[in-house]
A and B are shown apart, each in its own frame.
Chain A
């Protein structure tokens, strides 16, 4: 067994045993890490593997969160079994929205692609803000709780883990599959990929939809641990979060963005617990990152091992 495999098994064991050693407060943080790890990996499928820098990935996280909240509040999901279906429901709605946004956005590349995703996200943000009857407008939707036994933090942690682990594994298979190899080739040279006989636009659209669906799942999972959903989750500033997480961890490794998400969330909690200047620290962290370690924390770890 090689070192990477041992490391993964240790990580898995740690994830399974985590609730035994954590207070409820840190359990909620752990759930947040799981959700944002999936979110950041889904984003990196677009940016790191596909070379598609989206400024609107928060749209799908937010749509997933609102879908979860609406299903719970308006459709009256009270049993655990119905609640289990909320997650694929959130994925499906996020995927559907991604089909529409992606259909138009993949027609352009680079900054124009980014601008289109940004514009669509602002559209959705306005809907969340103004459709007060449905979304509660500026006040958001509050008092979200998973039903029954799942309301206990450790149980909800395992529930989230049961969604995140298979999702991350599926994404891992995807990036190493023929689809993923073609996607990496496409990041290098879209024209050449077209001239080996690949329909580039549909390849990009599928990538966009898959990334959107998993971001939606992450959003729904997080909604029920935070207990609230706010329109700010759909605001364009929210789309910076997965970008920073991915860059912080390292976009060139599959699990880099997950590591970035963990560090980001824990830093945010500890720093904003002792000072109100969290954005200042975040700014400093990003500067150091880009200037000193462009390959992120994973790059730093790899350099340390050599």
Chain B
């Protein structure tokens, strides 16, 4: 099934997705494609509908109209956990890990789910692919002891751990909601470059929302600008940077300059 305007090179095809909350049109018909292997950023001012859009993709919010096709399959009516099983992995703006579990266990929970083994009632969970779990921790650069509870991690390391949890599901598409939220400025670039490297190593496509223009322009291969629930433009970073419309509505010259230099 291929939505209008989409091609089979697309991992994700969103077609005219709209969502209204009471009197507010949060999304006014968004059409967007994520191409295989690309690093696609969604930017927009606060209240532009980025979170709502993200939540409709991941199944937390049901859109009023429109459809979303992932790897040629319509997601209409699929609950979140089944979207994940199809290969859509996500992280959260407010990092979500399992603080009482050790780092290794955090990843093992996800490996078990990926292997459809979450309901096994008898054998020991700690024996489930510990080497693979360790490998994922290394891949995201977590070098602290794997037997520490996740509650002991600093913010940046929690973000890494959440990425490892997400990667354990062997996604083909990474959906990252504000992946550098809450980080110091210099830490942000380092962090997004790590994510970018891991995603390219694994050949994953990625769609992410981001506030920090320096972060966006440092890794994005394409950028979509969302304003008041509508897509203003989707294009290469240079196109978006050059667009007068974008500058007028949202960015401002200074921010763009910062992006170029950062």
Contacts and interface: CB of A to CB of B under 8 A. Distances in A.
Given A184-B101, A196-B165, A177 B114 contact: no
Interface string A159-194: 000000000000001101111111011011101111
A295 to B, nearest CB: 14
Contacts of A127: none
Interface in A193-214: 193-200, 203, 206
Given A184-B100, A193-B109, A198-B113, A179 B84 contact: no
Contact of B58 (A176, A188, A192, A195): A195
Contact of B117 (A174, A178, A193, A199): A178
B119 A185 contact: no
Nearest to A191: B96
A188 B101 contact: yes
Contacts of A197: 81-82, 84-85, 110, 113-114, 169
A235 B121 CA distance: 32
Contacts of A188: 97-101
A165 to B, nearest CB: 17
Contacts of A198: 81, 113, 118
Interface string B94-136: 0011111100011011101110011111111110100000000
A173 B121 contact: yes
Given A177-B124, A197-B84, A197-B169, A182 B100 contact: no
Contact of B119 (A179, A193, A200): A179
Nearest to A188: B98
B121 A179 contact: yes
Contact of A182 (B89, B118, B123, B166): B118
A189 B97 contact: yes
Contacts of B114: 196-197
B81 A178 contact: no
Q: How large is the interface on B (under 10, 10 to 19, 20 to 34, 35 or more residues)?
A: 35 or more
B92 interface: yes
Interface residues of A, number: 26
B96 A203 contact: no
B189 interface: no
B98 A176 contact: no
B165 A192 contact: yes
Contacts of A185: 98, 101, 105-106, 109
Given A182-B112, A182-B113, A192 B97 contact: yes
A198 B118 CA distance: 7
B81 A200 contact: yes
Given A173-B121, A189-B97, A196-B169, A181 B58 contact: no
Contacts of B101: 181, 184-185, 188
Nearest to A192: B96
B40 interface: no
A178 B85 CA distance: 18
Contacts of B97: 188-189, 192
Contact of B122 (A173, A189, A191, A195): A173
A197 B99 CA distance: 19
Nearest to B175: A195
Name which of A176, A179, A180, A182 has the most chain B CB atoms within 10 A of its CB: A182
Contacts of B79: 199
Contacts of B85: 197
Contacts of A191: 92, 96
Contact of B125 (A176, A199, A203, A206): A176
B80 interface: yes
A177 B90 CA distance: 25
Interface in B39-95: 58, 79-82, 84-85, 89-90, 92
A185 B161 CA distance: 14
B12 interface: no
B90 A195 contact: yes
Contact of B81 (A173, A184, A195): A195
20 contacts: A174-B122, A177-B122, A178-B118, A178-B121, A179-B119, A181-B101, A185-B105, A185-B106, A188-B99, A189-B98, A194-B80, A195-B58, A195-B80, A195-B81, A195-B84, A195-B89, A195-B90, A196-B110, A196-B166, A197-B169
Given A182-B109, A182-B119, A196-B165, 6 more contacts: A174-B121, A177-B124, A177-B125, A187-B100, A192-B98, A199-B79
A-B interface, 10 closest residue pairs, ranked by CB to CB distance from nearest: A181-B125, A192-B96, A197-B84, A196-B110, A188-B98, A197-B113, A196-B113, A178-B120, A185-B109, A182-B118
